[in-house]
Amino acid sequence: AGFTIPQLLDSFLGSENMNFIEYHMKRVTVTALIHSALPFGYMLTLWCSGQRGQWMPWFMLASIIGPMIMLLKMTRWWD
């Protein structure tokens, strides 16, 4: 029900039956990256809706650091 990672990225993930381990490695990696980017999406939504404050630049910086750390972890997982 609803949108899930396997439904949205079916062509990228491939077949679970054909290559089980690689499928789940890709799925976990993409899911972790998407979830780490959620605070940035929230920040972008606040900014587009007109919310402004002194805390905005700091929260924007903090929300970008999460996905960057996740990208670094992902590159180390795949080595």
Domains of the chain by residue range: 5-77
- pLDDT, one tens digit for every residue, the chain (79 residues): 678 888 888 888 888 899 898 888 888 888 888 899 999 999 889 888 988 888 888 888 889 998 999 889 888 877 7
- Which residues are CB-contacts of 36 (< 8 A; sequence separation ≥ 6)? 66, 67, 69, 70
Site of tokens 């700091």? 58
Q: What does the alpha-carbon distance between residue 42 and residue 48 come to, in Å, rounded to a whole number?
A: 10
